Amino acid sequence: MERMLTQLISRTIEPEMVMSAFSAAFTGYFWLIKARKEKPALTIVQLRNFRTSLRSSQNGSGGKRLGLTQVEPCGILVANNSIRQNAIIGFDCYLKYRGETIKGDWGYVNDDTPPWNIGPESAISMSLACFFDVPEDCEVPEDMNFRVEFKTASGKRFPHLFSIKAPEL
């Protein structure tokens, strides 16, 4: 046994062994690091406040219509962390009110219309609007949270929790 160990240690390193180790390391890097950057990966950051409006609902239900809009430009920053282009084709809005989830309607401000194309490893800004049918006795608190799920052309969804007041950066 001692003789086999001595032979193994004293053996010279062959060039084929070095090339094989380099090839394995390069393949591992590609699959673990590089391939991860090819997957859709969006980061969403709220930069501006949402303005709230509470009006009588037009659908005859007797409730109210809560509107959350960003009137200032560049309200939300969306960064594409992938090495591939991505496109947001729309979004869904959700509000949790009294333990119940209300799905809302979405809109946009000014000419900021979908689809929003985001180049590889770059960012865009957008301004959103969400509208919810809420009960008649609804009162808007000083700050409230609501969820937006951004839908991409690839079918992947990116949820983000927003609040009326933009977080301090």
Distance CA 99, CA 118 (A): 35
Residues 98-146: pLDDT tens digits? Answer: 889 999 998 887 777 889 999 999 999 998 899 999 988 888 888 899 9
Per-chain mean pLDDT for the chain = 85
- Token look-up 């200032």 returns 72
Spell out where the chain has E strands. 42-46, 51-56, 64-69, 76-80, 86-97, 100-108, 116-118, 123-126, 128-134, 145-152, 157-163
Structure tokens belonging to residue 56: 């009588």
CATH class of 40-163: mainly beta
Residues 64-78: pLDDT tens digits? Answer: 999 999 888 888 999
Q: Using alpha carbons only, how large is the chain's radius of gyration in Å?
A: 26
Distances (CA, A) of 151 to 147, 155, 156: 13, 6, 6
Distance CA 95, CA 146 (A): 5
